[in-house]
Amino acid sequence: MRWWPFARSKSKVPDLIMKDTRTLLNELQDICERNFDKPAEARRQIQQSLTEWQDMFKQGLISKDALDGMVLRGSELIRCSDGEFTNILDNLEFWKPGWRPEKN
């Protein structure tokens, strides 16, 4: 009889590695901090990142929740004035997972 209870599973685990929200936030924060004195350049790079995040979501590399949070943050940074840009960089709550814009 050829029975072995510890046989290998036939299903393979895909080699897909998803980026988590914290990693994406760190990348966005790095962009902003490198260009803290050049908000226009930071906005250009953020716009480019928005496109990259959309592509990553389509490829299954980031979750829908992570994409939504990053798009919210990116949009907020793109729309703000230069003075608000600096204030947002200093706002620690903005860089935490789960952040949502304040409702007026």
Q: How many domains does the chain have?
A: 1
Residue 73 lies in a domain: yes
Question: Looking at residue 19, what is its pLDDT?
Answer: 77
Q: How far apart are CA 55 and CA 21, in angstroms?
A: 16
pLDDT-based confidence at residue 102 (cuts at 50, 70, 90) = confident
Tell me the angle at which helices 39-58 and 82-90 cross, rounded to the nearest 10 degrees.
60
pLDDT given at position 13: 54
pLDDT in tens, 16-49: 566 788 999 999 999 999 999 999 999 999 999 9
Rounded to an integer, what distance in angstroms lies between the CA atom of residue 48 and that of residue 40? 13
Structure tokens at 31: 């962009």
Tell whether 104 is covered by a domain.
no
CA distance linking residue 47 with residue 52, whole number of Å: 9
**What is the residue range of 71's domain?**
21-95
In a domain, 5, yes or no: no
